[in-house]
Amino acid sequence: MLTKLVTALLKPFWLNDVQDTLSRVGIQRMTIIEVKGFCRQKGHTELYRGAEYLVDFLAKVKLEVAVSEALVAQALEAIMEAARTGKIDDGKIFVHGIEQAFRIRTGETGPDQEHN
């Protein structure tokens, strides 16, 4: 039964490594969303048609995996192993409870719908 949603905000170039590491611990299903974030590093300046401007929202990916309580620690460890550099902006991980899951196609609900 799936009970937790693990959400990680990462640099886009770590995505393949994180996906491979999660696959090795048995986590195959995930959702990836391209997002932008404003973080400690405060962005950077770029030149466009001779004008300099500040890019303060940086490209990130938001990875979401629904896992059983038993796999939460392994999921966290896998993400950190693949994405940690020890520098500012390695990302963040959040763990949320899943109250209910529904299969849209059939209307079924319950633990079996959370992972299929």
* Chain segment 55-96, per-residue pLDDT in tens: 677 889 999 999 999 999 999 999 999 999 888 778 899 999
Statement: residue 4 has pLDDT above 70: yes
- List of residues 6+ apart from 91 with CB closer than 8 A: 8, 9, 10, 11, 14, 60, 83
pLDDT of amino acid 89:
79
Q: What total of structural domains would you count in the chain?
A: 1
The CATH number for 12's domain is: 3.30.70.120
Domain span at residue 101 reads: 2-113
